[in-house]
Amino acid sequence: MDNSSMVHLLEREGYIRSERVKRAFLMVDRAQFVPDENKSMAYFDEPLPIGHAQTISAPSMVAIMLELLNIEDGNKILEIGTGSGYNACLMACMGANVISIERIPALCDFAKKNVEKCACRERIKIMLGDGSVGYKKEAPYDRIIVTCGAPDIPPPLLEQLKDGGIMVIPLGGTFFQELYVVKKERDKILKRRWGDVAFVPLIGRYGHRWA
C-alpha cells in the first residue's frame, strides 16, 4: 500500500468526491505526518497516535470534512487543532491560505517540522495557543475547521466566520460527537448535522475543561 493506493481507495469508497480534494491527497503523503513507530500503518484508513494522547484523524474522516468545507481558491482558513499538520497541508494544497492553531507545544513543533516538506508550506502559518478563542487578528475567515470535539460552537469562532462562510465542527462530549456544517448567511446561522464522529476533545476557554 502506498499513498496513491490509499487515495484511490478513498475515492472508490466515496469519501473523496471532488478533483480538488483528490489532487491534494495525492500531493501530500500521509506517511510524512505519522511518527516513525506507526509509519507501517500510515496508509490504513485509521486514526493513529501522534503522541501526547492525540491522533492524526483517519484519512476518510479528513476527506469527509474537506469535502464538506467546500474550499475555493484563495480562501482564508482557520484550523483549530493542528496535530500533525497533515490537514493544514491538504488545505494549502487545495489553494487555501491556512492559519492553524495547536495547544500542545510539542505537537506545534512536530507539525511545523512536518509542514516544512510540503510544496505549499508558504501558505501555512502554525501557531501555539488556545484555538477555542479563534485568532481575531486575521479574521474574518472564509472557512473554519475544528478537528477536535467541542461542547458547543465557540462564540468567537462564529464571530470570526465571514458572512457566507462555512465552519465544520464536531459537537458533543469528550469521546463522541456529531459533525456539523455551520453556515453564516446574513447573520443567520444555519446548522446541518452530518453524522456521528469520535474526536479528541477541544480543551480550552470555550472547550471542555480537563478534569
Residues that bind ligand SAM (CB under 6 A): 54-57, 80-81, 83-84, 86-87, 101-104, 107, 130-132, 147-148, 199-200, 202-204, 207
Q: Is 5 a catalytic residue?
A: no
Asked if the bond preceding 154 is cis, omega within 30° of 0, the reply is no
131 phi and psi, to 5 degrees?
Answer: -70, -15
* Shortest Å distance, C-beta 188 to ligand SAM: 27
* Whole-Å CA distances, 182 to 54, 169, 194: 25, 8, 11
**Residue number with CB closer to ligand SAM (142 or 177):** 177
> Of 4, 57, 60, 100, which residue is the catalytic one?
57
Output 168 or 182, the one with its CB closest to ligand SAM. Answer: 168
Q: Cβ closer to ligand SAM: 186 or 210?
A: 210
Min CB(74)–ligand SAM separation in Å: 21
List all residues 6 or more positions away from 63 whose beta carbon is below 8 Å from its beta carbon: 10, 15, 16, 21, 25
Q: How far is CA 71 from the centre of its chain?
A: 12
Nearest-5° Cα angle at 88, 86 to 93: 95
Minimal distance, residue 186 CB to ligand SAM, in Å: 29
Q: Which residues are catalytic?
A: 57
